[in-house]
């Protein structure tokens, strides 16, 4: 009897230890409206420079669809362009076409335990997202980066969701009022405010109760740039967007991603808005399925860049290790 009880206790403790040491994949996504990437790249702001030097992505990607907030952010959430999601401007409908999946419902079909949250300053997009199956949807104040920083920091450090979407509208606010231009000091101040807010939010991850057992993918992009007071046309000032991703607190021995299969491809293409959904989907579900095949991304027009993100992060980690020797 005693030996049986001891065996039961040993198995239970082993199971508990295994669960506690399984790193859980988490995603933090920053949606930053109306950023002129050429201006941003010259400002050398801490978060963006770190992403440019240590992460995956570039200041010099492109929005090849409609450079407007409604269709662009919908593409980020669905992984398809306006031809499929049918949104062509900021007059947002109540529902998406039946065949179009958001990252929320696509991921939950693979693992129904996954939880998603959004902090949204833009009222129109907040109302649009009421009809998407978010577990948490918080309404902010458009252009108020300080409020977003304070509320998002508290929210993220005190909740246990798997995906956090945080939107900043301050740059777009001042761009439309005084110009998406280098001369607009309030536009550039907005970019600095957003950078500092992002740094604070990332730092707050370390306050999370189970932070030590979490693998984080942090991503960011903008929907469009601008020229003058608007963002119409095909000029580089309007079309050029940044797209960044990196791993944070990531353990390459964890089951979140099988790094042996994660070598950077030889493709010279640059990531696009449509690639965000499949990248996030692979990261959140890779440890829950034996492999990530195209059947999970069959509804997406883009590709997952997770292999390249992992390879880039591993290269930087190895470089740091060598510098310490």
Q: What's the pLDDT band for 315 if we cut at 50, 70, 90? A: low
- Cα distance between residue 309 and residue 264, in whole Å: 8
Q: What's the pLDDT band for 201 if we cut at 50, 70, 90? A: very high
Q: What's the pLDDT band for 10 if we cut at 50, 70, 90? A: very low
Q: Are 156 and 206 in contact (CB under 8 A)?
A: no
Place of tokens 């963002």: 231
Domains defined along the chain, listed by start: 23-324 (3.40.720.10)
Mean pLDDT computed over 130-140: 97
- Cα distance between residue 309 and residue 123, in whole Å: 32
Q: What is the pTM for the complete model shown?
A: 0.87
pLDDT at 249: 83
Position with higher pLDDT, 60 vs 232: 60
Asked which of 7-16, 17-26, 262-271 is least confident by mean pLDDT, the reply is 7-16
Q: What's the pLDDT band for 253 if we cut at 50, 70, 90? A: low
Can you name the residues that pair with 241 across neighbouring β-strands? 61
Task: List b or e across 216-250, with b for residues whose CB sees 16 or more CB atoms inside 10 angstroms.
Answer: bbbbbbbbbbbbeeebeeeeebbbbbbbbbbbbbb
Residue 119 clears pLDDT 70, i.e. is over it: yes
Please write the tens of the pLDDT for every residue from 263-299: 444 445 899 999 999 999 999 987 555 444 544 555 6
pLDDT at 8: 43
């Amino acid at each position: 009897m005693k030996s049986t009880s001891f065996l039961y206790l040993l198995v239970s403790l082993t199971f508990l230890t295994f669960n506690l040491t399984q790193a859980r994949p988490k995603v933090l996504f920053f949606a930053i409206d109306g950023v002129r990437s050429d201006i941003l790249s010259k400002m050398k702001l801490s978060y963006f420079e770190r992403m440019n030097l240590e992460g995956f992505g570039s200041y010099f990607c492109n929005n090849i669809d409609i450079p407007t907030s409604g269709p662009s952010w919908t593409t980020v959430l669905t992984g398809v362009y306006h031809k499929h999601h049918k949104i062509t401007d900021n007059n947002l409908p109540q529902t998406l076409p039946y065949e179009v999946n958001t990252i929320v419902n696509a991921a939950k079909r693979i693992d129904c335990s996954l939880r998603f949250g959004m902090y949204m300053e833009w009222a129109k997009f907040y109302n649009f997202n009421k009809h998407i199956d978010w577990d948490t949807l918080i309404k902010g104040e458009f252009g108020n980066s300080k409020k977003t920083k304070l509320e998002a920091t508290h929210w993220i450090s005190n909740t246990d969701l798997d995906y956090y979407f945080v939107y900043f509208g301050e740059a777009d606010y001042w761009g439309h009022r005084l110009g998406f231009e280098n001369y607009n000091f309030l536009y550039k101040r907005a970019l600095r405010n957003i950078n500092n807010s992002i740094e604070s939010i990332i730092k707050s991850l370390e306050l999370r109760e189970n932070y030590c057992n979490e693998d984080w993918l942090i991503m960011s992009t903008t929907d469009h740039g601008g020229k003058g007071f608007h963002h119409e046309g095909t000029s580089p000032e309007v079309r050029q967007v940044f797209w960044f991703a990196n791993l944070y607190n990531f353990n390459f021995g964890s089951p979140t991603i099988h790094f042996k299969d994660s070598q950077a491809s030889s493709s010279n293409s640059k990531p696009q808005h449509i690639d965000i959904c499949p990248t996030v989907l692979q990261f959140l579900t890779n440890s829950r399925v034996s492999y990530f095949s195209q059947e999970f991304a069959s509804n997406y027009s883009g590709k997952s860049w997770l292999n390249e993100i992992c390879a880039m992060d591993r290269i930087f980690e190895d470089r740091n290790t060598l510098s310490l020797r």
